[in-house]
Chains A and B, each alone.
Chain A
Amino acid sequence: MLAGVTVPGATLELKSVTRRFGPVTAVDRIELAIEQNEFFALLGPSGSGKTTLLRIIAGLERPDEGQVEIAGRDVTDLPPYGRHVGMVFQNFLLFPHKTVAENIVFPLRMQNLPRARRDEQLAWVMGLLRLQGLEARYPNELSGGQQQRVALARGLISRPALLLLDEPLANLDRELRSEMEVEIRRYQKELGIPFIYVTHNQEEALTMSDRIAVMRNGRFEQIGAKTEIYTNPASAFVATFVGHANRIDGRIMEIDGALARMSWNGGALLVPRPAGAAIGDKVRYFIKHEDLEIVPAAVNGVAANDVNEIRGLLRDIIFKGQTANYIVAVPDGGDLVVSDTPRTVGVHPNQQVIVRWPAGAGACFTDEAP
């Protein structure tokens, strides 16, 4: 009966939320609506304002302008304890003088829930997060992963309208992190509570979320479904920040419909037409590692019209397990990285190779765009 409970109408709306710290505008006129059942990631480098935005939603920080609405109610002027949101922190922040069980039921005690209800929900959340048997331990007697589970349990036990997560996995080791990524997403789907997940780790954001906002200098650089963000970055910044891309700088020589011809190192590459670009403009072209293909130079066939090709010298192969990164030195002195399945490619280091990819793949932006 407890596992599938949803909070009706639990959505978050931010209306032109702004927060300044002295001369710095940490959060700049942010508009956002979060749907029920949504796993939303706020992705950005440190200092982009994502944590400040999260703290504004939690009520720990007051916006200078704008409105915060949770479940249709304006909570802009409400303190954190009136908002019924849960929050999970990077450094766990468990109460060191309380046992696991006492930590977890804390929100329910603050709501003055009767003991029987408390115990019932404690049993439910301990089961959900597989914490049984740890009730009487103190936080310093737990491993990092267990501490993070307890922090999650404390955030979820009162079934808040919204759960905020501030880089919750940053302090965990890699293996545990990927395990928790899957689990946190499972909790979100099971409980139907919207999660807002702040991270600077694009892999985390891509793995877990439904929708991503890429944040930079207090603004959303791009907001959309994660596949959209990944395949169609809206700016050079998003293209570098999400996924692993090669960057090639050049100049527009010719524009032809949706494609443009970009001069590069004496040759030309067919790239998507950058918005607002004119002939002669300097542009930056981004192509993801896995969009490239590598073949031995001997196989040099006829270059088709709709394929870009660059010759180069295979410098090294970085074996990563499922994939391998092929580092190719190209004539302009830079490196291109090609990501491919290791067994399918019959190339060796110090061999001449050709890197190729379909014309128009990737993303291209004019240079003056920051």
Chain B
Amino acid sequence: MSGLGPLSSFKRNPALRFAALVGPGAAFIVVSLLLPLLSIVVFSFWRTESYELHADWNLDNYRTLLGEAAYRIFFLRSLVTALIVTVVCVVCGWPVAYFIARHGGRYRLLLVLALAAPFFTGAILRITALQGLLGPIGLINMALGMVGLGPVEALMYTQLASGLALVYLFIPFMVTAIYLSLVNFNFELLEVAKINGARPWRAFIEITWPLNWLGTAIGMILVFIPCLANALTPRFLGGPDATSFGMSLAQQFGETGTWALGSAMGVAMFGASLLVILCLKPTIRLKRSGFTGAMTP
């Protein structure tokens, strides 16, 4: 009985070892993620005056958000943009991911890494690069000008330009999520479907899509949520009519210094994101995704 020092009792107690392993990471998450979130919820019920927060509890910030048309427009604009961008990313990302997973062969890893290459430069630089592509003296409009076609106005400082930039920024997440799902997909199942009378398109709908829906849904969340919060692309590419909710939110913490209202906007955004995830949840049934299926013995 004697001779069991603290070290050996640590070695013998799996719960203790587990706590030592998980503890630091969990503590970091609590401190750096949950606490700021909580403080934002608290601030949203406070009041800002002359760039200072006052702790008198009220609902004025939420009244402003719901009452003023501008905020409703910003929010709807962000929501619709995020939805469209997500759908575009799914439609454009699927074939790319499918091609890499199916035909990438030994270059698969390289191709996926290539998707990450734009990240090496940072978001601002990438947006600036897009400005150079889409703007009045950008590559596209210059080229069109040289062959005698006028500049495409739709691409210059419009919501379309801002949305295009979002697709460009976030499609790598979508492709990566779908790719990671597809590398675990047994393509032989498609042969089985075809022998059993399924045309390629039908086989996709019956087999490929449902078995990779989980990965696709993860990609959709990875794209949708940052797009909803997007503040950058409208600022650089959007022009006057493209102000997004996220951009307005950023202004509350910057130029206008209305932190309490900004916090309320943050809470609204958090709620909206949560709502979208909750909407996706019932579509994900683990059995129906084949997730628990040990397909091959």
Residues on A lying within 8 angstroms of B by beta carbon are 58-60, 79-81, 83-87, 89, 91-97, 106-107, 110-111, 138-140, 144, 154, 158, 171
Interface size class of B (residues with CB under 8 A): 20 to 34
What 4 pairs between A and B have smallest CB-CB spacing?
Answer: A96-B293, A110-B197, A96-B290, A107-B196
Is the beta-carbon distance between B290 and A110 smaller than 8 angstroms? no
Q: From the candidates B188, B192, B197, B292, name the one contacting A140 in the complex (CB within 8 A).
A: B292
Is the beta-carbon distance between B289 and A97 smaller than 8 angstroms? yes
Within 8 A of A (CB), among B44-92: none
For residue A91, which residues in chain B have a CB less than 8 angstroms away from its CB?
Answer: 188, 295-297
Is the beta-carbon distance between A154 and B211 smaller than 8 angstroms? no
Is the beta-carbon distance between B297 and A81 smaller than 8 angstroms? no
Is the beta-carbon distance between B198 and A110 smaller than 8 angstroms? yes
Ordered by A's residue number, 25 sampled pairs between the chains whose C-beta atoms are within 8 Å are: A58-B195, A60-B191, A60-B195, A80-B191, A80-B194, A80-B195, A81-B196, A81-B197, A81-B199, A85-B195, A91-B296, A91-B297, A93-B186, A93-B189, A93-B192, A95-B290, A96-B211, A96-B293, A96-B295, A97-B287, A97-B290, A97-B293, A140-B295, A154-B196, A158-B196
Cα A154 to Cα B198 with chains together (Å): 13
Is the beta-carbon distance between A111 and B195 smaller than 8 angstroms? no
Is the beta-carbon distance between B297 and A97 smaller than 8 angstroms? no
For residue B197, which residues in chain A have a CB less than 8 angstroms away from its CB?
Answer: 81, 84, 107, 110-111, 158
> B294 at interface (Cβ–Cβ under 8 A)?
yes
A59 in contact with B294 given A97-B210, A97-B211, A97-B287 (CB within 8 Å): no
Cα A144 to Cα B194 with chains together (Å): 23
For residue B188, which residues in chain A have a CB less than 8 angstroms away from its CB?
Answer: 89, 91, 93
A interface SS class? loop
Is the beta-carbon distance between B191 and A140 smaller than 8 angstroms? no
> B288 at interface (Cβ–Cβ under 8 A)?
yes
Is the beta-carbon distance between B293 and A87 smaller than 8 angstroms? no
Within 8 A of A (CB), among B182-230: 186, 188-189, 191-199, 202, 206-207, 210-211
Give the Cβ gap from A97 to chain B, nearest Cβ, in Å: 4
Tell which of A86, A93, A96 has the most Cβ of chain B within 10 Å.
A96
Cα A114 to Cα B290 with chains together (Å): 27
A86 in contact with B293 given A93-B188, A96-B211, A138-B287 (CB within 8 Å): no
Cα A87 to Cα B188 with chains together (Å): 12
- A interface footprint on B119-147 (CB within 8 Å = 1, 0 otherwise): 00000000000000000000000000000
Is the beta-carbon distance between B290 and A81 smaller than 8 angstroms? no
